[in-house]
C-alpha cells in the first residue's frame, strides 16, 4: 500500500507524508451530515415542538433534554474508549459506523412522532432523547476520530475540519430551510409537518453515515497496528481520567464550555427570538438559512489563512469576541430606540447583516477549538505512549453536550421567568415579557463570551510546539522499531 492514500493512516506516522486526497476529505465530511441534522432538530425545533405543539411545559421539556444531554455526555468517554479499543479487520471506527445509523434513524423518526395521545410524558421524551443521542454519538465519535488518524499536519487537520463543518452546517441549514419552507410552511405548529421533518431526517441520517463509511472503507479498513489490552472497567476509566487530566485539554474545555452554553441557549431560543422579538415573516425566514450558509462558506475559504497568521488559539479567542459583540449590537440598538421598525425589510436586512458576521465569527471559533483537540492527542501520546483520538473527541462531546444542556435549561428558565405564554402569536406577546427575555438573554451571552475568549486564548499548544512534538515522536518511532523497550512507546 506504499504511496497510496491509505499509507498515511497508521498509528505511527513519519513527519513528512502526502497531502490528504480531496476525495477522502469529502468522504469523511459526509459522515458529519448526521450531526448537522440532529443538531438542527434538537437545538432549533425540539423545544418548540414539545412545548408549543404537544403542550408540555417549557421547563419540563428543557429538563428532559438536559438530563438526556448529561446522560449521553457521561457515556461518551466510554464509547470513545471502546472505539479506541476496537480491533477488527475493518479497523477501529468502521464497525461502529455500519452498526449505529439504522437504529438511529428509526428512533429519530419516533422522536418526532411520539406514540402517545396528548402531551407526552416526561419519561417518554427523556427515553427518546437519550436513545437518539447515544446512537448519534456511536456514529459521530468514530467518524470525527478518523481526522487525527488521517493526518498529523497542523493545517491539513484544519482543512478536514473545515469540510466536516461545511457539510454539517450545510445539511443542518438544508433541514432548516425545508422545515420553514416545506414541512412547516403553512404553520410552525403543524403536527404533520414535524412528522415529515422527522422522516426526512431519519432517511438522510442513515444514508449519510453508511455512505461515508462505505466510501472510506478501502482507506481505513485494516487491523490496527497495536492490539488493545483486554477490557477491564477499572483500566478503562483510569485511561479516561488520565487523558482528561491533560493540561491542554482542560484549558480547551474551559473555553469550549462557556461557548457551547451560549450556543445551546441561543439555538433553543432561536424561534422565540426570530418570531417574537424580531417578528420576521415567512419570506424573511426563507432567507435566514441562506445567510447562515454563506457565513459558513466565508469561513471555509478564510479560516486556513487566519490560522496561518494568528494560530488556532488567537483566532478562536478573537473570533469569539467578534461573534459576541456582533450578536449583541442589534439588541442594544433596539433597546435604545435606534433599530428600524420591527417586521420591516429594513429591520430584517440589518439583522441579517449582524447574523452573518456573528455566525461567521462563531463558526471560526468552533472550528478552531475543535481542531485544537487534535493537537492534544500528540501531547498525550508523547507523555503516555498511547493515542486516544476517540477518547479526546468523546471528551469534546462531553463538554459540548453538558454545556448545551445547561444552555437549554437556561433558555427554558428564561422563558419561565419572563412569563412567556404557550401558543403565543408573533406581535401579540406583551412588551414587558419581550424586554425581560431580551435582558436575561443578553447578559448571559456577554458573560459567556468573555469567559470563552479568555480560556481559548490560553491554549498552550502552538504550531511550532506541535511540529517539534511530531519530530520528537518520529525520533521515538525510529528508536521503537530498533529497540521497543528503550523507546518508552507501547510496541
Residue 62 sits in a domain whose CATH number is 1.20.1250.20
Has residue 442 been placed in a domain?
A: yes
Has residue 487 been placed in a domain?
A: no
- The confidence score (pLDDT) of residue 14 equals 38
Has residue 390 been placed in a domain?
A: yes
Has residue 14 been placed in a domain?
A: no
Has residue 6 been placed in a domain?
A: no
CA–CA distance, 46 with 198 (Å, rounded to integer): 11
CA–CA distance, 412 with 268 (Å, rounded to integer): 8
- The confidence score (pLDDT) of residue 484 equals 43
Residues in the chain: 491
Measured in whole angstroms, how far is the alpha carbon of residue 58 from the centre of its chain?
Answer: 24
pTM for the predicted model, two decimal places: 0.74
In three-state secondary structure terms, 16 is coil
Question: Total domain count for the chain?
Answer: 1
- The confidence score (pLDDT) of residue 362 equals 92
Has residue 10 been placed in a domain?
A: no
- The confidence score (pLDDT) of residue 479 equals 57
CA–CA distance, 1 with 241 (Å, rounded to integer): 36
Angle made by CA atoms 433, 427, 183, in degrees to the nearest 5: 110
CA–CA distance, 73 with 46 (Å, rounded to integer): 19
Has residue 12 been placed in a domain?
A: no
89 Cβ neighbours under 8 A, 6+ residues apart? 221, 222, 223
Has residue 3 been placed in a domain?
A: no
Per-residue pLDDT of the chain (491 residues; tens, 9 = 90+): 333 343 344 444 433 456 889 999 999 999 999 999 998 898 788 988 998 889 898 889 988 988 887 888 788 888 887 888 888 889 888 999 999 999 999 999 999 999 877 889 999 999 999 999 999 999 998 998 888 888 878 788 888 988 998 999 889 888 988 988 889 888 888 889 999 999 999 999 999 999 999 999 988 888 877 777 776 777 767 777 777 788 999 999 999 999 989 988 988 788 789 988 999 987 888 788 889 889 989 999 999 899 999 999 999 999 999 999 999 999 999 989 999 998 899 999 999 999 999 999 999 998 898 889 888 888 888 888 777 777 788 777 778 877 877 887 888 889 889 988 877 777 788 889 999 999 999 999 999 999 999 999 999 998 888 888 888 877 776 555 555 444 333 32
Domain that holds residue 457: 20-480
Amino acid at each position: 500500500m506504499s504511496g497510496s492514500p491509505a499509507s498515511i493512516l497508521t498509528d505511527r506516522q513519519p513527519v513528512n507524508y502526502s497531502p490528504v486526497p480531496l476525495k477522502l476529505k469529502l468522504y469523511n465530511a459526509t459522515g458529519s451530515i448526521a450531526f448537522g441534522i440532529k443538531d438542527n432538530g434538537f437545538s432549533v425545533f425540539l423545544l418548540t415542538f414539545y412545548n408549543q405543539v404537544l403542550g408540555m411545559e417549557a421547563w419540563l421539556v428543557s429538563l428532559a433534554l438536559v438530563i438526556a444531554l448529561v446522560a449521553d455526555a457521561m457515556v461518551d468517554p466510554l464509547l470513545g474508549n471502546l472505539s479506541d479499543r476496537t480491533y477488527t479487520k475493518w479497523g477501529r471506527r468502521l464497525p461502529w459506523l455500519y452498526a449505529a445509523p439504522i437504529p438511529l434513524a428509526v428512533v429519530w423518526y419516533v422522536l418526532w412522532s411520539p406514540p402517545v395521545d396528548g402531551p407526552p410524558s416526561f419519561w417518554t421524551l427523556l427515553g427518546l432523547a437519550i436513545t437518539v443521542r447515544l446512537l448519534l454519538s456511536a456514529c459521530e465519535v468514530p467518524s470525527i476520530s478518523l481526522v487525527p488518524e488521517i493526518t498529523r499536519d497542523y493545517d491539513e487537520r484544519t482543512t478536514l475540519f473545515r469540510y466536516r463543518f461545511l457539510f454539517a452546517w450545510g445539511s443542518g441549514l438544508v433541514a432548516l430551510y425545508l422545515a420553514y419552507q416545506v414541512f412547516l410552511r403553512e404553520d410552525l405548529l403543524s403536527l404533520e409537518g414535524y412528522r415529515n421533518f422527522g422522516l426526512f431526517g431519519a432517511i438522510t441520517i442513515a444514508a449519510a453515515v453508511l455512505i461515508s463509511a462505505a466510501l472510506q472503507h478501502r482507506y481505513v479498513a485494516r487491523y490496527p497496528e497495536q492490539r488493545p489490552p483486554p477490557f477491564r472497567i477499572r483500566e478503562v476509566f483510569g485511561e479516561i481520567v488520565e487523558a482528561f487530566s491533560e493540561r491542554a485539554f482542560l484549558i480547551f474545555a474551559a473555553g469550549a464550555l462557556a461557548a457551547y452554553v451560549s450556543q445551546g441557549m441561543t439555538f433553543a431560543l432561536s424561534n422565540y427570538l426570530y418570531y417574537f422579538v424580531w417578528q420576521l415573516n415567512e419570506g424573511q425566514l426563507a432567507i435566514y438559512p441562506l445567510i447562515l450558509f454563506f457565513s459558513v462558506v466565508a469561513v471555509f475559504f478564510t479560516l486556513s489563512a487566519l490560522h496561518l497568521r494568528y494560530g488556532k488559539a488567537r483566532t478562536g479567542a478573537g473570533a469569539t469576541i467578534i461573534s459576541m459583540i456582533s450578536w449583541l449590537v442589534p439588541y442594544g440598538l433596539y433597546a435604545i430606540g435606534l433599530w428600524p421598525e420591527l417586521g420591516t425589510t429594513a429591520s430584517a436586512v440589518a439583522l441579517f447583516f449582524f447574523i452573518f458576521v456573528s455566525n461567521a465569527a462563531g463558526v471560526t471559533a468552533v472550528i478552531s477549538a475543535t481542531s485544537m483537540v487534535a493537537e492534544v492527542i500528540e501531547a498525550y501520546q508523547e507523555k503516555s505512549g498511547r493515542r486516544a483520538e476517540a477518547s479526546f473527541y468523546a471528551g469534546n462531546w462531553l463538554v459540548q453536550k453538558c454545556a448545551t444542556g445547561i444552555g437549554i435549561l437556561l433558555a427554558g428558565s428564561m422563558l419561565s421567568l419572563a412569563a412567556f405564554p404557550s401558543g403565543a402569536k408573533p406581535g401579540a406577546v406583551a412588551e414587558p415579557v419581550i424586554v425581560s427575555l431580551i435582558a436575561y438573554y443578553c447578559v448571559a451571552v456577554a458573560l459567556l463570551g468573555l469567559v470563552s475568549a479568555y480560556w481559548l486564548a490560553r491554549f498552550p499548544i502552538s504550531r511550532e510546539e506541535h511540529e517539534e512534538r511530531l519530530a520528537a515522536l518520529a525520533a521515538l518511532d525510529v528508536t521503537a522499531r530498533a529497540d521497543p523497550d528503550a523507546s518508552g512507546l507501547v510496541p
